């Protein structure tokens, strides 16, 4: 529920300041792949929203 509230706040801030043709929710592997495919097809008016401090979603490395 916290993530949804954060996303709602970010979307309201973006809608007041910017207009994009495409907004991608999440910078995990699927979000990055979607952005890449859109850019390859000439759609460059996009924004990627990510709740975490880093990209990659659940995929990340940890040092043991």
Domain count, the chain: 1
- In contact, 51 and 7? CB cutoff 8 Å: yes
Residue 22 lies in a domain: yes
Residue 8 lies in a domain: no
Query: Cα–Cα–Cα angle for 7, 49, 13, nearest 5°?
Result: 55
Q: pLDDT tens for residues 11-62?
A: 555 555 566 788 898 999 999 999 999 999 999 999 998 888 888 888 777 8
Residue 23 lies in a domain: yes
Residue 41 lies in a domain: yes
Which range marks the domain in which residue 35 is found? 16-59
Query: Cα–Cα–Cα angle for 42, 46, 50, nearest 5°?
Result: 140
Q: pLDDT tens for residues 27-37?
A: 999 999 999 99
Query: Exposure string (b/e) for 15-31, b if CB count within 10 Å is 16 or more?
Result: eeeeeeeeebbbbbeeb
- In contact, 28 and 48? CB cutoff 8 Å: no
Residue 10 lies in a domain: no
């Amino acid at each position: 529920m916290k993530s949804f509230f954060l996303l709602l706040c970010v979307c309201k801030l973006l809608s007041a300041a910017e207009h994009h043709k495409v907004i991608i929710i999440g910078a995990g592997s699927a979000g990055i792949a979607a952005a890449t495919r859109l850019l390859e097809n000439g759609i460059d008016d996009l924004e990627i929203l990510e709740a975490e401090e880093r990209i990659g979603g659940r995929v990340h490395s940890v040092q043991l």
